[in-house]
Amino acid sequence: MSNLNLVDFSASLNSIAKASSTSAQSQLQANAKAAGMSPQAVEQVKAKAKKASENFESMFLSSMFQQMYAGIDGDGPFGGKGALKIWRSFMTDQIAKSVAKTGGIGLAPQVYAALLRHQGISAS
């Protein structure tokens, strides 16, 4: 058996992944150009991708915030039973939307870039 260096193996796997990713991206971009996407269509796709990425981050944050309040039970707007739990879910949704709109936790830009990459469009 040969003695395999883990670092070299990892580096070779990374180079293979980069090469296939680069060729896939160039193929996607060629497909977008072949499809004849106008600059206006590209801008529409970018706007939809931006909104979708912000909505995704907002939903993720809302789920996190709901889990944060799940164990709280008591009086007032943060606790209670019945209708107060419904109002709490509305509150966490709005907090999540506000946080996502002001930059969030950095998830939206990553999702935005991935959505554009899958469309074969450059983020810049």
59-113 confidence digits (pLDDT tens): 999 999 888 877 776 665 555 666 777 788 888 899 998 998 888 898 999 999 9
C-alpha closest to that of 118 among 45, 58, 67, 60: 45
User: What are the backbone angles phi and psi of residue 81, rounded to the nearest 5°?
Assistant: -125, 170
Render pLDDT for 28-40 as a digit per residue (tens, 0 to 9): 555 556 556 788 8
Determine the residue type at 47. Answer: A
Contact 4, 96 (CB under 8 A): no
Instruction: Please check whether residues 56 and 73 belong to one and the same domain.
Output: yes
User: pTM of whole model > 0.85?
Assistant: no
- Single-letter residue type at 74: G
Clarify whether residues 29 and 54 are in a common domain: no
What range does the domain containing 99 cover? 38-124
Does residue 9 share a domain with residue 65? no
